Structure 1
Amino acid sequence: MTEERQAQYFDLIDKLLQCPNGQEPEILEAHSELIDANFVEAMARVATMFAHEGNQDGAQFLFFLARELAKQLGLYPDFKNSEAAKSEVPNKE
């Protein structure tokens, strides 16, 4: 990933953090060319940094958004529909 692309990711994350509640989908749609696995990873890194700095609200928001984007991109398993969830866990005896 280039430094320019990384700067674009961080700029988009900043826009998401500053936008009025509910406008996130519009912002993401307007910057859809940046939505990829690396963007999700950048959001998780920023969220982790926020958590370490005590900004729990910002961290939770970014983790939630990163998880939702990861699901949309097919990067996050849907355990409810996975084969592993359908099969029973063997009993320990």
Structure 2
Amino acid sequence: MSDTRQDQYFNLIDRLLKCPSGQEPEILDSQPDLLDEGLIKTLMQVATMMAHQDNQDAAKFLIYIARQLSKELGFYPQVSPGQ
């Protein structure tokens, strides 16, 4: 992954962390070219770093975003109740 792409991921994550609650979908929709497996991995890396820095709320938020994005992109298995 190029440094430029990594920087784009970090900038998008920074925007997500700073946006008012509820505007996350708009921010993600504004950068469809960045919505990929690389972003999900970067979200998890940043969330891990934040957890180690005792910023649990931000870590949980980023993990939630990563999980939702994984579901939308088909990387997260959907399990039906009763299976």
Same-fold status (TM-score > 0.5): yes
Distance 1:80 1:47 in 2: 28
Cα shift at 1:68: 0.3
Unaligned runs of 5+ in 1: 87-93
Structure 2 match to 1:8: 8
Instruction: Give the count of matched residue pairs.
Output: 83
What pairs up with 1:44-83 in 2 under 5 angstroms? Answer: 44-80=44-80
Distance 1:31 1:67 in 2: 18
CA RMSD of aligned residues (A): 1.1
Distance 1:39 1:49 in 2: 15
Distance 1:77 1:52 in 2: 28
Structure 1 match to 2:42: 42
| Cα deviations by residue, 1:41-63 (Å, 9 ceiling, x for unpaired) | 00000001111110000000000
Distance 1:80 1:46 in 2: 30
| Cα deviations by residue, 1:70-93 (Å, 9 ceiling, x for unpaired) | 000111111226xxx63xxxxxxx
Distance 2:29 2:41 in 1: 18
Moved over 3 A (4+): none
Structure 2 match to 1:33: 33
Structure 2 match to 1:17: 17
- 2:68 partner letter: E
Work out the percentage of aligned pairs sharing the same amino acid.
51
TM-score for the superposition, normalised by structure 1: 0.85
Unaligned runs of 5+ in 2: none
TM-score for the superposition, normalised by structure 2: 0.95
